[in-house]
C-alpha cells in the first residue's frame, strides 16, 4: 500500500491478504472514531467480509490493541460483543514549543493523558527547550511506569515554521536566538532516546487535536485557526489533516487583511496574542500573566476587549479569503486563551462576518474549538500514534 495515498473515507475495505495491514488500520480507525462496535457493525462500515473482520480482530486482540466490551443482548440470537480500542495498547509523547512556554503530554491509544508538564520562560532558546525536553522525558517515564513506557511509539514535536525568524517581530531578541536555524530536533532528541521523532507545524498540530479529539469527527472539510503568540492554523479535507508538500499548509498568519484604521497588514500583526502583549506593556501590566497557568485574564479586561474587537475583525476577513479558495463547510477558532475569551471572540467574528462582502461565496459555519490551550501538544502526541496504527496520517509525517 502506497503510504502517500490519502485516505478519504473509512468505508472501503479490501479483502486481499497482502493488504491486511491497511485493513487493520481501517478497523482501528473505525473504532477510534466510533467507540464500541460489534464485529458485524465493523464489517458493515468497512465493507470487509465478516470472516476478514473476525480474523483481524482476533489478531488485534492478541496484540493488545483492542478489547472486548460487555455483551449486548438483542431480541433474537446470541448477545453481541462490542470491540473497542485498548487504551493500554500504545502510548505517545507530544511536545509543544512556544515563544513563551513549552508543554509535554503523554497520551495512551485513546488520547487519555498519562502525564503532563509545562515550562514558562521569557524567550525560547535551544538550551532551555532541550533541557526541558530531556528532564520531562525522564519524569514521564517514571510517572507512567515501565510497562506503559515500553508501549511508546514515538515523539511528536509541534514547532513553528522557521522559528529563528521570530526575532524580527519585536526587535529585542538576542542574537543567539538565531541558532535555531542550525538545530536538528532529531539529533537533540537522539541524545536521550531512540524513539522516532515526528515534526509537525504547531498550527497544524493543534488542528490534529481538533480533528482527532474535537469536532473533526462531525465535519468533512474545514479551516482551523489557532490564536497564540502568533496566529496559525490547519486545513482538513475529506476528513484528513492536510500538511502540504513542505509541511507548512494553512500558514494563515501572512494573509493580508485590513485593520480598523483602514491599513492593510498581515493577519499575524492584528490577530495574535503578541499584539495583546504590546497593549499590556503600554498600560503598565506584566504581559507574562497571559501565559500563567491556570489562565486568568480578568485583571486586564479593558485591553482584552480592544484586542477581541481587532482580532475578530481580522479573522472575519481571513475567513472570507480562505473560503474563496476552498468551499469549507466550517471554520473553527481556538487558541491559547481562557474559554470565556474564546467564546466572546467567536461570537464577535460571527457578527463581523455578516458585514463582510461575501458575494459569490457560501459563508461557513463559525465554531468554537473544543481543545484549547493543550491543542498543540495533544496534537503532536496524536501524530506518532496515527502514523503507526490509524489511517489518515500524511506521508510527510510518517516517512
**Regarding beta strands 330-335 and 365-368, do their DSSP bridges make them parallel or antiparallel, or are they unpaired?**
parallel
C-alpha torsion 366→31→376→216, nearest 10 = -10
Its pTM stands at 0.87
pLDDT of residue 70: 83
Contacts of residue 96, Cβ cutoff 8 Å, sequence gap at least 6: 102, 103, 104, 158, 202, 205, 374, 376, 377, 380
> Measured between alpha carbons, how far is residue 152 from residues 30, 213, 251, 391 in Å?
22, 19, 30, 19
Sign of CA dihedral 236, 241, 244, 250: positive
Average pLDDT taken over every residue of the chain:
88
pLDDT of residue 391: 85
Summarize pLDDT for 312-350 with one digit per residue, the tens.
999 999 999 999 999 999 999 999 999 999 999 999 999
Q: Which domains does the chain have, with CATH numbers?
A: 17-85 (1.10.10.10), 89-205+376-398 (3.30.420.40), 215-370 (3.30.420.40)
Cα–Cα distance measured from residue 312 to residue 319, given in angstroms and rounded to the nearest whole number: 10
pLDDT of residue 164: 72
> Measured between alpha carbons, how far is residue 126 from residues 180, 237, 378, 383, 392 in Å?
7, 34, 22, 23, 32
What angle is formed at CA 83 by the lines to CA 82 and CA 86, rounded to 5 degrees?
A: 145
Cα 278 from chain centroid?
Answer: 27
Cα–Cα distance measured from residue 211 to residue 371, given in angstroms and rounded to the nearest whole number: 10
For residue 242, the cross-strand partners are 235
Summarize pLDDT for 113-142 with one digit per residue, the tens.
999 999 998 888 899 999 999 999 999 999
pLDDT of residue 205: 96
Those residues of the chain that have pLDDT short of 70 are: 1-20, 74-79, 166-174, 176, 392-399
Summarize pLDDT for 245-257 with one digit per residue, the tens.
888 889 899 999 9
pLDDT of residue 167: 55
Amino acid at each position: 500500500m502506497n503510504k502517500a495515498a490519502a485516505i478519504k473515507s473509512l468505508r472501503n475495505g479490501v479483502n486481499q491478504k497482502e493488504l491486511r495491514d491497511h485493513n487493520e488500520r481501517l478497523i482501528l480507525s473505525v473504532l477510534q472514531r466510533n467507540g464500541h462496535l460489534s464485529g458485524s457493525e465493523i464489517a458493515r462500515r468497512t465493507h470487509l467480509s465478516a470472516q476478514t473482520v473476525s480474523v483481524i480482530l482476533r489478531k488485534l486482540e492478541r496484540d493488545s490493541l483492542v478489547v472486548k466490551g460487555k455483551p449486548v443482548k438483542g431480541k433474537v440470537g446470541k448477545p453481541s460483543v462490542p470491540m473497542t480500542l485498548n487504551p493500554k495498547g500504545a502510548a505517545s509523547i507530544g511536545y509543544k514549543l512556544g515563544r513563551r512556554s513549552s508543554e509535554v503530554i503523554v497520551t495512551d491509544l485513546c488520547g487519555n493523558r498519562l502525564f503532563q508538564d509545562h515550562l514558562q520562560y521569557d524567550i525560547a532558546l535551544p538550551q532551555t527547550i532541550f533541557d526541558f525536553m530531556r528532564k520531562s522525558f525522564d519524569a514521564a517515564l517514571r510517572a507512567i511506569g515501565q510497562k506503559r513506557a515500553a508501549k511508546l511509539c514515538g515523539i511528536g514535536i509541534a514547532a513553528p515554521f522557521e522559528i529563528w525568524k521570530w526575532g524580527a517581530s519585536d526587535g529585542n531578541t538576542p542574537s543567539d536566538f538565531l541558532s535555531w536555524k542550525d538545530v536538528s530536533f532529531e539529533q537533540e532528541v537522539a541524545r536521550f532516546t531512540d524513539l522516532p521523532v515526528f515534526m509537525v507545524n504547531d498550527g497544524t498540530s493543534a488542528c490534529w487535536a481538533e480533528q482527532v479529539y474535537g469536532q473533526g469527527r462531525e465535519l468533512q472539510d474545514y479551516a482551523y485557526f489557532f490564536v497564540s503568540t502568533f496566529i496559525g492554523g490547519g486545513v482538513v479535507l475529506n476528513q484528513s489533516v492536510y500538511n502540504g508538500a513542505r509541511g507548512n499548509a494553512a500558514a494563515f498568519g501572512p494573509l493580508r487583511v485590513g485593520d480598523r484604521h483602514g491599513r492593510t497588514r498581515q493577519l499575524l500583526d492584528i490577530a495574535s496574542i503578541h499584539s495583546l502583549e504590546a497593549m499590556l506593556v503600554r498600560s503598565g501590566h506584566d504581559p507574562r500573566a497571559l501565559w500563567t497557568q491556570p489562565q486568568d485574564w480578568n485583571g486586564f479586561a479593558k485591553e482584552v476587549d480592544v484586542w477581541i474587537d481587532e482580532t475578530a475583525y481580522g479573522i472575519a476577513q481571513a475567513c472570507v479569503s480562505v473560503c474563496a479558495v476552498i468551499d469549507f463547510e466550517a471554520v473553527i477558532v481556538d487558541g491559547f486563551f481562557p474559554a470565556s475569551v474564546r467564546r466572546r471572540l467567536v461570537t464577535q467574528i460571527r457578527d463581523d462576518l455578516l458585514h463582510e462582502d461575501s458575494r459569490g461565496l457560501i459563508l461557513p459555519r463559525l465554531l468554537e474549538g473544543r481543545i484549547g490551550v493543550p491543542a498543540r501538544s495533544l496534537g503532536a502526541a496524536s501524530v506518532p500514534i496515527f502514523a503507526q496504527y490509524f489511517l489518515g496520517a500524511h506521508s510527510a509525517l510518517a516517512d
